[in-house]
A and B are shown apart, each in its own frame.
Chain A
Amino acid sequence: MAMGAEVEAIQTRNSEVRKSSGRFGGPTTTAGRQEERLGWMLLTPTVLVVVLVAIYPLLETFRLSFTNYRATRPDAWRYIGFENYRDLFADDVFLRSLRNTFVFTISSVGLETILGMVIALTIHSNFKGRGLVRTSMLVPWAIPTVVSSLLWVWMFHDGYGVINGVLVRAGFDRFQNFNWVGDPTTALGAVVAVDVWKTTPFMALLLLAGLQVIPEDVYEASRVDGASKWQQFWQITLPLLRPALLVALIFRTMASFRVFDMIFVMKQYATDTMSVSIFAFREMMVKQRYGFGSAAAVVIFLCIGLMVIGYTRLIRVEEG
C-alpha cells in the first residue's frame, strides 16, 4: 500500500499513548459511559465497511475453497473438504506460479534492499542538489504500476526499444531484436527489473531516514579506535539500521508476494511469469472455478496473514 502506513506504523511504536482507564471492565462514570458510546458511534461506519466488504467476503472465500462451486453450474455444488487444496498442490501450473512468486519476491526484495542501501548511503552526505535527488526518487514511486509496466514493455521492445538500441550501439550485436519480456529465460528477470525500479527509491528513502538518526559521534569514536569504513558499515550502520530495515523488508515482502498488476500487464497469463495471484484470478474469474481458485486465494491470504502477525508483533500497537 502507500508508504505513509509504514512510516506512521513506526511512529506509533514510540509515540506517547494515553493510558486507557477501563482495561478490565466497562467505564464506571456517566462521562465514561458517554465517551464509550461516542467512541462506538464514530467507529461504526468504518467497522461496517470493513466487516461487510472485506471480512464477510473473506469468510465466504474460505467457505468456497471447501466446495466445488463453479459459476457455470451455480446450483450443483457441494462441500468437498480439503480436495481443492490437495489438487492445488498437485497442479503443475500452481506449483510453477508458487515458485515464480517466491523467486520474484526474494530477488526483487533482495535487489531493492541492496540497491536502496547503496543509494541511501550515497545520498546520506551533504552535497548541492541533494533535495533534487530525493525528489527524483519519488517519481518511480508515484507512477501507477500499470504505467510503469507499459513504460518498461516499450523500453524492452525487441525491435524499437531503447534498451536494445543502446546495447547494440555499445557493440552487443546479439541483443538486436532480443525479446526481453517474451523470452522465457529473461521474462521473470524483466519483471523483477521493473519492480526493482519502482520500489527501490522507496526503500532508499526509508533507509535514508534511518541513517539520519544514527549519531555522528558513534562513527567518530570508532574512527579513533581505527575501524575501517567497511567495519563501520557492518558493526555500526547495519545494527543501528535494523529496525527501519526490518519494517521495510516485511512491508516489501508482503507487497511482492501478492503481485498481480505488474506481471499481468506485462505478461498476462504466461506460465513462465505467472504469480499465485494471477493463477487464482484466472481460476476464479476466467475459468469460473470459484472453489479451486478460492483455495489458491486462501493460500496467499494465509502467507500474508503470517507476515502481518509478525509485523504487528514487531511494532506493538499501542503498548498501554
Chain B
Amino acid sequence: MADYALIDGYLESMRSSIRWRRDLDDVIAEIEDHLISATERFEARGSDRVNAQQRTLDEFGDPKVLAVAFASTPKGGIAVPTTFTKSAGLFAIVGAVAWIIGLIAIAIAAGLPDATGVDPDQFVANGQTVFFIIGSMSLLVAGALMFVTMIGLYRRHGSLGILGIAGLGVTALGVLTLLIAWAFALWMTLIGAGVLLFSISLLRRDLSPRLWTVVWGAGMAVGAVTWYVLRWLEVGDPDQWGDYPLAVAFALPVGVIIMAIGLIGIGRWLRGEQPVDLTPSEPLATA
C-alpha cells in the first residue's frame, strides 16, 4: 500500500502492540478496512491523501491505548503474555518432567522391580526407601511447579472467574496432600478435580490451546476415576492395608502421563509467546 504510508506504519505498530492475539491477522484486516474507508471518506470531502490519513489515525486512537482495550477483560484484568507467564511455561515443562520422574521413582519403590526382576537394592542400599523419598519429593516439586503454572495461566487470562479460583484452591489442597505421597487416591482426586475445574474455566475463555488444555485438564481426573473404578471392581489382590496395589499401579501412570503431556503442551504455548508490557488504564471498551 504505497499510497497509504501513514496507515501502513500505524498497522505495523498496532500489529506489534496486539501481537498476542490469536486472531491477529483478522483484527489487523478489520482495522485496515476501517482506516482506508475513513481515509477515502475524508478524501471525498476534500482532504488530500496525507491529511485524510492523519485525521483518520487521530480519530482511531493511540495503538498503545487501544492495545490495553484489546487486552482488557470484562472484569478489568489485562490478558497479555508477560515475563511471568513466559516463566510459568518453563515451570510447566520442568513440572511435567518432575511428574514423570516421581512416577518412575514411586513405581520402583512400590515394587515394580519385583515384577520386572530388578532389585532396587542393586542400585542403592535400602533402595525402596530412597526411591520412595525421591518419588515423593519429585511429586511435591511437580505439584508446586504446576500450581505456579496455573497462577501464570490465571494472569495470562486477566482473570478466570469463580470456576478458575475454585480450581486453583482445590489444586492447592491437592498439592499439599502430596506431602502424604502414599495417599494416592486423595491427592489424585483433589488434583484431578482442581485441574479439571481450572481447565474448564480456561476453555471458556478460548485463549489457551484447546487440545493441550483438554489433555492436561482431563489427565489426572481420568487417572482418579480409573482408580475408583478398579477399586470398586476389586481388581487384583488387596494388600495388608486393604488397598488394591494393581489399581494404583494402573491408574497413577494413566493420570500422571496424560496430565504431563498436556502440561508440556501448555508450557510450550506459554514459552512461545512474546511478553508485552502494557500499563493498565481504564479503556472504554473491553475485549
B and A form one assembly: no
Q: Which residues of B contact A (CB under 8 A)?
A: none
